[in-house]
Amino acid sequence: MIIVKDKLGKTISGESVNFIETLNKEGIIVPEYIIIHFTADRGVENSINWFQDPMAKASAHVIIDRDGRITQMVEFNRKAWHAGRSRWSDRSGFNDFSIGIELENPGKLTKVNDRFYAWFEKEYSKDVVVAAKHKHENTTSYWHSFTEKQLGVCFQVCKLLMETYNIKGILGHDDIAPFRKNDPGPAFPMESFRAKLFGREDDSADIYKVKANNINIRKGPGAEFDPIVQLNKDTEVEFIKSKLGWFYVYVLLATPKDEEPVYGWINGDLLTKV
């Protein structure tokens, strides 16, 4: 199974791959990131139709339905309109250098008495509901689960993309547009998903504490890179990847709504594992 001419090949894990083109796209890009979304829609056909509508001004490279079927709508070396206004670390405008993967999922649900509804008023049974806190929220809310098949196919697609392009990271829409977007949300196992893709030995997130006060988190893996912010002793960070003894981390702090979440590099000697 290979990627040819920036389109997926015929099958992945026994599932056929359809290419349904949308004109909601622009010129050539060099993909550096993969952004995971959920469709927050009534079904995959609605999402495909929406992405084909010029009035939508939206699209994604790939949609994966709940049975693992794949529909590609934009070539991976072309710009899709999935990220919108976006920023992460020192980068902005993620449509210009990322691949968008949409997973069929109605998203956040509303609980009314003992019943659960999507924003489009469809009711869902309790057995597909996940009660969890979103990382940018302080209270528990309700989310529609993803299927095991869907997550497995998404993993295979991401793995193929990483083998084909110089992919630097896997992010959620809620990472690059925090407080504006909440997908893929806490029902998507981002920590274990990312850990497997980058070859970690287990599925758990590695959490570290800063050993001292006034420790710089930097824009790159080295003291020559500019600091982003200083961290105090016992601040917790989540490990993402490492390079030359430096750890690329996500700072686990409650982020005010008018600020961006903090990602950056910190000397691994200045951290202790929790």
236 labelled catalytic: no
Q: Are strands 215-218 and 70-72 parallel, antiparallel or unpaired?
A: unpaired
Selecting among 102, 121, 191, 236, the annotated active-site residue is 102
Cβ pair 154, 64 in contact under 8 A: yes
DSSP track, 101-155: EEE----EEEEETTEEE-TT--EE-GGGEEEEE-TT-SSEEEEEPPPHHHHHHHH
CA 119 to chain CA centroid, Å, is: 22
* Of 141, 139, 142, the residue nearest 128 (C-alpha): 142
In whole angstroms, how far apart are CA 191 and each of 128, 170, 195, 237?
Answer: 21, 10, 6, 13
Q: Which of 27, 20, 99 minimizes the C-alpha distance to 61?
A: 99
What residues are labeled active site? 102
